[in-house]
Structures are given as C-alpha cells and as structure tokens.
Amino acid sequence: MHHLFYLFILLFSFSTKAIEGIATRWESDNPNPIQTEFDSAPLEQTKQAANSGNDSAQLFLGQAYEFGNQVELDYHKAKDWYLKAAEQSNKYAQNKLGWMHESGNMPFQNVATSARWYRKAADQGYAPAQNSLAFTYKRSGTQLGYQKAMALYKKSAQQDFAPAQRNIGLLYANGQGVELDYTAAKHWYLLAANNGDGRAANLLGLMYQDGLGVKQNKKIAIEWFQKAAESNNYQGMQNYLALNKLTYKEANAQAKAGNPSAQLQLCHMYFNGDEIEINYEKAVYWCTQSAIGGQINAQQDLARMFFGGLIVKQSFKSAYVWAKIASTNNRDMDSLLNTIKTELSKEKTAQAEKTYRDCLDNQLSKTYCPIPTLLE
C-alpha cells in the first residue's frame, strides 16, 4: 500500500507540474468557451444552421466537440467546425484554431499554423489572440522578437486583457527587450491582479517574498498568495500553504471549525505524515470536506484520486465530476478533464454530466456529489 501511495504522489506531482508548465509556456489559457445564440437551442437546430453556413453555429459545434458537451468528445470534428467558422473570419474560431495547433495535448500540433490563425484573429483586434501571437514572437528569444511581443501585448493590455498585462510585467521582470525594471513589472502585475489574474497575484507574492524591487515582506507576500489561491491559481495556493503553514494543532482546530484551506492542509499532513502518523482514511476524509467546502485544490486532488484508483476506488465518472467542478473557473484543469473523457463512453459521459449538475445544483452536498471510498 505504501508503494502505491508513493506512485500516486509521483503521478499527482507530475500531472500538476505538467498542467502548470503548459500554462506558463503558452502564457495563455485554453480560451474560455464563447457564448453564442445557440447555447440554449436544440442540437439538431444548431447543426442545421451550421450546415447552412452560420458561423456562430459552427463555433458552437466546435466548442461542443472540443469539450464533449452534448456530443462525444472529438478534437478532429472540433477543428473541422472551427475551420468552417474561421474561414468566414470568425475571430473566436480563428483564435481557437491557433490554440488547438499550439497545444501539445492536441493531435495536430503545428506552431506555424498556430501563429497564422492567431495573426488573423489579432488583426481583427481580438485581445486574447494578440496576447497569444505575442508569445510566438517572445518564444524566438531575440531582441526583435521581444520588441514585437511587447507591441502586441500592449495592444491586448489596452483592452484590459489581464494575461497580457501580466506578460508585460514578465518582460520587465526578466529584462527581455527592455531594461530590467521591477517597478514597471510590479505596475503591470498589479493591473493584471486587480483584473482577477491569479498568476499575476502569485508573481506579486513572489516579489514580496524574495524582495525583488520591493522591501521583503512576508505578510504582504502571504496576502498576495492568498489572492492568487482565491483566483484558483494552483501555484499561488502552494506558495500560500508553504508560507502560511499551520501546525498540526492549528490545522486540526481550524479544519474542525470548517475552514476549507485548513482542511486541505490537514489532508496533506495525513497523506505525508507531516507532524502526524500517515493515515489515508483521514487524509481522504479531510480532502473531501475541503472539496465540498469549495477548495479548488482539494477538488483537483479528489479528481486525481478517483482517476488514479491507487488510494480510493477508481471511478472515471467521479473523476470527471470533480475535475469539471474544479475547472469551472480554472482552465488549467482542462488537460486532466479531457484525459478523463477519453476513458468514458458517450453514455457514461452523459451520466457523469448529470451527476455534475446535480452536485452543483445542490451546493456540493455529499448526498449528490461523489464521495471516495478508501481501497481495502
């Protein structure tokens, strides 16, 4: 059992780092689904409109196939529908094609094709595409590339697109194409963080933790890490827990009082034998309590536990439910969610969707949400 646990931890650590690493490399999330007038329309009506050339209906179907909503997950069909819409100058579909060809999780990765579609959407003034195209220039690692990236980031940032504001801060913080300037970096991080960007809040926390351009201040660092965590930034939560680590006695008292963050800390303490003997039953219990309390990192933990089946009874449907709950405001979970979908038939995906909706509609009640059962 101990060997299985350590394997579980390795898998957990790898998948988390991979997701965070991908997001950092692209410096943009998988674009959030765009609302269309077909969101509440019958699927057959939408298909008829799409086949008649309606680009909004084509965009809707692309998103449906990409995320497995109302249809079976199929990236190739998603790409085909996005292409039909993109060829009609639909900037949202053009941006999605850019992302799909950039993503290492897709079967048709092609950086040149990705940049071409990003450019088409960016030329229409679409801020997310300008941000993503900027990164293709930044990736060159040349002064000219950094300068072109800065120009595009600024166009995107002028539209209050938080990731672009954060990425300008990163250029200043790393002295890429500009003089290294922590004051300017902080300015742009603040703009992004105040626009709800969790990664920018985490970067501000790191500045105060390490004294980069500001006076070192642990209290302020913790405050920014907490804001990052509240914006569902995984790394921010990890930094918050590391810097604001409770003792077992404190975590136990606060967990019993209903604090989801303390419950998550207590869960990890029992998993790792930190200040207390390893107890998987209590670890799973407190992770579950934290997840039900709305702690996104605990929800991610449950999804991975159900998916791996090394600590609790394996259930891809239950993994789907918790991964989708965690992904509601956190696009970094899309990679895991899509991996889980490949293990589910269309029928089982529909069943998991129903459980997901019931769980959400009933405020994450244990009566309606999947609760893990420890392996014998």
Cα torsion through 141, 30, 160, 88, rounded to 10: 100
- What pLDDT sits at residue 29? 54
Yes or no: say if 275 and 269 are a contact pair by the CB < 8 Å rule. yes
Quick one: the chain helix, strand, coil %, rounded to 5? 70, 0, 30
- What pLDDT sits at residue 373? 94
- What pLDDT sits at residue 109? 81
Assigned architecture for domain 248-361: Alpha Horseshoe (1.25)
How far, in Å, CA of 158 to CA of 151, rounded? 11
- What pLDDT sits at residue 9? 40
Reported for 141-144, long-range contacts at CB under 8 A and 24+ positions apart, including other chains, are: 143/177
Domain borders along the chain are 32-124, 248-361
How far, in Å, CA of 48 to CA of 58, rounded? 10
Within 8 A by CB and 6+ apart from 110, the residues are 101
How far, in Å, CA of 320 to CA of 338, rounded? 9
- What pLDDT sits at residue 211? 96
- What pLDDT sits at residue 108? 78
Strand partners, 45: none
- What pLDDT sits at residue 23? 35
- Residue 65 tokens, joined: 């196939």
Within 8 A by CB and 6+ apart from 259, the residues are none
How far, in Å, CA of 131 to CA of 98, rounded? 12
Distances in Å between the Cα of 184 and the Cα atoms of 111, 131, 143 are: 30, 19, 19
Yes or no: say if 331 and 341 are a contact pair by the CB < 8 Å rule. no
Distances in Å between the Cα of 125 and the Cα atoms of 4, 119, 153, 157, 158 are: 51, 10, 12, 11, 11
How far, in Å, CA of 15 to CA of 12, rounded? 5
- The CATH number of the structural domain formed by 32-124 is 1.25.40.10
Fold match, 32-124 / 248-361: yes
- What pLDDT sits at residue 341? 86
Whole-number CA gyration radius for the chain:
22
What are the pLDDT tens digits along the chain (376 aa)?
433 333 344 334 333 332 233 333 334 455 677 889 999 999 999 999 999 999 999 999 999 998 888 888 888 999 999 999 999 999 999 999 999 998 766 677 888 999 999 999 999 999 999 999 999 999 999 999 999 999 999 999 999 999 999 999 999 999 999 999 999 999 999 999 999 999 999 999 999 999 999 999 999 999 999 999 888 787 888 888 888 888 999 999 999 999 998 999 999 999 999 899 999 999 999 999 999 998 888 999 999 999 999 899 999 999 999 999 988 756 667 778 888 988 999 889 889 989 998 998 899 999 999 999 999 8
